[in-house]
Structure 1
Amino acid sequence: MFLTPEEVAELTGYKRYGAQIRWLTAHKYGFAVGGDGHPKVLRQAVIGRMGGVQSRKEPELRLG
């Protein structure tokens, strides 16, 4: 459902969470900050934004 911390670092080019959050904000990626301070990025959002198609079915997050 969410990118792993390693995948967020690869996407942003930063290992520190504050820098990742700044990069995600600047590039208009949606994310939430967890209680641990780590940015949480939905895998499906990144795949869609990059123009890819998700090959395997994963659980979907439904809000409301």
Structure 2
Amino acid sequence: MFLTAAELRELTGRIQKNAQAEALRHMGIEHKLRPDGSVAVLRAHVERSLGLNEAVKNMKTIEPNWSAL
């Protein structure tokens, strides 16, 4: 549901929470700050923002030619 701390560091290239939030704002990725100062980012929003849903939708399913057997 949410990105892990490691995924958030990888996505933003930042370690500090404030720097992560700034990077997310710059990328246009919605996020919330938790009461402890950590950053919460929905995995689905990141996938949508980076075009994963479009890539999956455009994929064609390849099936074997069963009639050739």
TM bucket normalised to smaller: 0.7 to 0.9
**Greater percentage in helix:** 2
Quote the Cα distance in structure 1 between the aligned partners of 2:35 and 2:26: 22
Which segments of 5 or more consecutive residues in structure 2 lack a partner in the other structure? 54-69
C-alpha RMSD over aligned residues = 1.4
* Deviation >6 Å, runs of 4+: none
**What is the aligned-residue identity percentage?**
36
Q: TM-score, normalised by structure 1?
A: 0.76
Quote the Cα distance in structure 1 between the aligned partners of 2:47 and 2:24: 15
**Match of 1:48, SS?**
helix
Looking at CA atoms only, which structure, 1 or 2, has the larger radius of gyration?
2
The Cα shift of 1:12 comes to: 0.2
**Bigger relative CO (Cα 8 Å, ≥ 6 apart):** 1
**CA-to-aligned-CA distance 1:4-55 (integer Å, 9 cap, x gap):** 01101100000110110111111211000011101100000011112114xx
Q: How many residues align?
A: 54
Which segments of 5 or more consecutive residues in structure 1 lack a partner in the other structure? 54-64
Alignment partner, residue 26 of structure 2: 26
Alignment partner, residue 3 of structure 2: 3
